[in-house]
Amino acid sequence: MKPNPGINSSTFAGIKHRIWSLPTALVLLWVVVLLWGERFTYGNSVKRCLWQQWESWPTHAQPHHVLLVADPQLVDPHTYPDRPWPLSDLTVAYTDRYLRRSYRHLQDKLRPDATLFLGDLFDGGREWGTVDSSSPEERYKKYGTSFWMKEYMRFSDMFLRSWYKGRLASRAEPEGRRILASLPGNHDLGFAAGIQQPVKERFDAYFGPMNRIDIIGNHSFVHLDTVSLSAMDQIDPETGSSGAGDGSAAATASSKIWTPVEEFLQNAKNTRDKAIRHACETRFNWPASGHRDLLDPNVRSAADTSEDPNPRQPRPKVSSSQFPTILLSHVPLFRSGTTSCGPNRERGTSIPLSAGYQYQNVLTPLISQDIVKHLTAEEITMIYSGDDHDYCEIEHSEFTGRIREITVKSMSWAMGIRLPAVQLVSLWNPVAQDAVFPNSGDDNDDTTGRQATPRDTVQNHLCLLPDQLGVFIRYAQMLGLTVLVLMVRTLLHGRGRGATAQSDQKSEPLLPIARDVDPAGVQSCSSVRKDDENVATRKMGSYAHGGRSRSSSPWKKPRFMKDGDDDDEDDWGMPQSKRRLRPHLNRPGKLRFFGKSMRQVAWPVILFYIWLIWTG
């Protein structure tokens, strides 16, 4: 616009009109809605999960914080094989962004001491070929090792980068915060007999070991590859019966899949004891070196020969019960199909029992029993599983100690649930040296009874993440509102013109003009007319008009019309004669006007949205 030397207060009023126009108001509303959907929802969700908000430990406690992530299941060509471009790429972009943002907020705000994944890191991981194998499905045969590597980088970018940004050590974990993504899911490996050995070896090489025991927060965390173990007792989807192989070639192949896991299980108690001993020696400096010297080495070795094959290194027996066992399995343990999952589940009330190609909803009773038996039922306090995508919290009444199991929700919003989530686990279990090494004290009486596993050392919190679908619905509503408002505005705009044009001819006041009597009406009416005017092309005369219609008497209609003529031309792009027709005959002009208002709103909004996406 050209500066007018005769600029006056009414000119400013005109500018004010332009800035506080309806499109501007819509843009501002959009800014608020977009900030809410792209920023505040994430912050708010995570704020509700802060540890102090829900933990209840004694004040002196220094709990260990664990973040459990289940089924991120990165969307890939396997997820929606028939989705056309660009929808397919958009789905990938939006789910990745959601995961990245939520995870970054979780790591930034919660700073978990350990981050553990419960499997199904990928959706089609099992399909991407290796040097020695390719997908059994024709449509995935073209995806090979390089594709898998890309997916591996994608996962690392998303989940390792923001984890690494935090300090490496924390108060509860001075030796370093941990991140473990080694638990495989059926989408990473396949299920039971469906697992291809090279695919399994590759996962093990990059994420493994798949079976492991770690001491985390004074608890024994057992990662167990139950998708492989399931080959030991697989449900036949056709007959519904379960049973190990019959010595056939297929049975031999499947035994190669489950045997290592079963061997790990059989040796689990030893491994756990070793891990506990190692943790005590390195972290707590137990048994204190002086303490061990108090005992006569000969006496100790004589007492220990039965268990310790190396008599030169006598070590006190450790009681694993003081470090309650927490089992992580991708597939939930067996329960009846009607076992209620509690109120936090979204779909239905229980996990249905079903099995099919490359999946099985729960482990078989035989495998569940096998696992619990080898880990000592009394020492297991919690089981965490994934796979189901929805939440489920049950108590296993079939095992002693009524072990609790929580099936963790998927973290992705593309996995069939409205509110994705992660599981927060707070551990507080101050162990006493005497209890861990019951025989290393002064009294060497035969304390045969196993020490009871401490109770209530675990507190759980379901941490819900933003409702992405709800955000999109809000955007759609906002779009509807925008179109509606601009349409009404276009109609009003036309009606106003039509009416004044008519009144000009007939010299008869019509409704919109009658409204002008009210001073407030003058404002609203003129603003409705004015705010649409194109800033770039509008002439100064209409500025003056904008001011005058406010300041001068609304009854001076003839002047009003004359003043308005100028900007009418710009807005409508119509010759004078046509403008004088009734509004419904001005359809092309109306469409043009509507399109222009839409563009006025759309451009700033789209740019702001792109910026929001770009920067986070």
Ligand X SMILES: *[C@@H]1O[C@H](CO)[C@@H](O)[C@H](O)[C@H]1NC(C)=O
Closest CA to 103 of 55, 50, 67: 67
Nearer to ligand X, 64 or 212 (CB): 64
Q: 């935090």: which residue's tokens?
A: 166
User: Exposed, middle or buried: residue 189 (CB in 10 Å: 0-12, 13-18, 19+)?
Assistant: buried
Under rule CB under 6 A, which residues in 97-126 are in contact with ligand X? none
- DSSP, res 464: E
Q: Is 63 in the site for ligand X (CB under 6 A)?
A: yes
DSSP 248-265: SHHHHHHHHHHHHHHHHH
Nearer to ligand X, 191 or 428 (CB): 428
Q: Which of 284, 357, 555, 611 binds ligand X (CB under 6 A)?
A: 284
Nearer to ligand X, 431 or 464 (CB): 431
Q: Which residues of 288-303 are buried (b: 16+ CB within 10 A; e: fewer)?
A: eeeebeebeeeebbeb
Nearer to ligand X, 211 or 322 (CB): 322
Peptide bond into 287 cis (omega under 30): yes
Question: What would the x/- binding string for ligand X be over residues 10 to 49, using CB under 6 A?
Answer: ----------------------------------------
Task: State phi, psi for 208 to the nearest 5 degrees.
Answer: -65, -175
Q: Which of 21, 429, 482, 542 binds ligand X (CB under 6 A)?
A: 429
Under rule CB under 6 A, which residues in 439-498 are in contact with ligand X? none
Coil, helix or strand at residue 103: helix
Part in contact with ligand X (CB under 6 A); list of ranges 77-85, 184-192, 364-372, 429-437: 429-437
Q: Is 175 in the site for ligand X (CB under 6 A)?
A: no
Nearer to ligand X, 265 or 427 (CB): 427
Q: Which of 17, 18, 64, 78 binds ligand X (CB under 6 A)?
A: 64
Q: How far is the CB of 353 from ligand X (least distance, A)?
A: 37
Q: How far is the CB of 326 from ligand X (least distance, A)?
A: 13
Q: How far is the CB of 172 from ligand X (least distance, A)?
A: 6
Give the pair of three-digit tokens for residue 467: 């409702």
CA distance 554 to 522: 7
CA distance 510 to 519: 17
Do 458 and 220 form a contact (C-beta atoms < 8 A)? Answer: no
Q: How far is the CB of 385 from ligand X (least distance, A)?
A: 23
Do 323 and 429 form a contact (C-beta atoms < 8 A)? Answer: yes
> Please, which residues have CB within 8 angstroms of residue 611's CB and are 6 or more apart in sequence?
none
Q: How far is the CB of 174 from ligand X (least distance, A)?
A: 11
Pairing of strands 212-216, 421-427: unpaired
Nearer to ligand X, 63 or 119 (CB): 63
Q: How far is the CB of 411 from ligand X (least distance, A)?
A: 25
In this structure, the chain runs to a length of 616
Nearer to ligand X, 211 or 429 (CB): 429
Nearer to ligand X, 1 or 432 (CB): 432
Under rule CB under 6 A, which residues in 203-232 are in contact with ligand X? 217-218
Do 4 and 546 form a contact (C-beta atoms < 8 A)? Answer: no
Q: Which of 117, 399, 428, 560 binds ligand X (CB under 6 A)?
A: 428
CA distance 270 to 281: 16
Q: State the number of binding residues for ligand X (CB under 6 A).
A: 12
Q: Is 431 in the site for ligand X (CB under 6 A)?
A: yes
Q: 């066992």: which residue's tokens?
A: 325
Q: How far is the CB of 167 from ligand X (least distance, A)?
A: 18
Part in contact with ligand X (CB under 6 A); list of ranges 61-69, 236-244, 312-320, 570-578: 61-69
CA distance 127 to 142: 10
Q: Is 337 in the site for ligand X (CB under 6 A)?
A: no
Q: Is 427 in the site for ligand X (CB under 6 A)?
A: yes
> Please, which residues have CB within 8 angstroms of residue 376's CB and are 6 or more apart in sequence?
269, 320, 321, 325
Part in contact with ligand X (CB under 6 A); list of ranges 324-332, 379-387, 422-430, 600-608: 422-430
- DSSP, res 300: H
Q: How far is the CB of 64 from ligand X (least distance, A)?
A: 4
Q: How far is the CB of 61 from ligand X (least distance, A)?
A: 7
CA distance 228 to 234: 10
Q: 């056309």: which residue's tokens?
A: 84
Q: How far is the CB of 52 from ligand X (least distance, A)?
A: 16
Q: How far is the CB of 282 from ligand X (least distance, A)?
A: 13
Do 269 and 374 form a contact (C-beta atoms < 8 A)? Answer: yes
Q: Which of 176, 430, 480, 588 binds ligand X (CB under 6 A)?
A: 430
> By the criterion CB under 6 A, which residues form the site for ligand X?
62-64, 172, 217-218, 284, 427-431
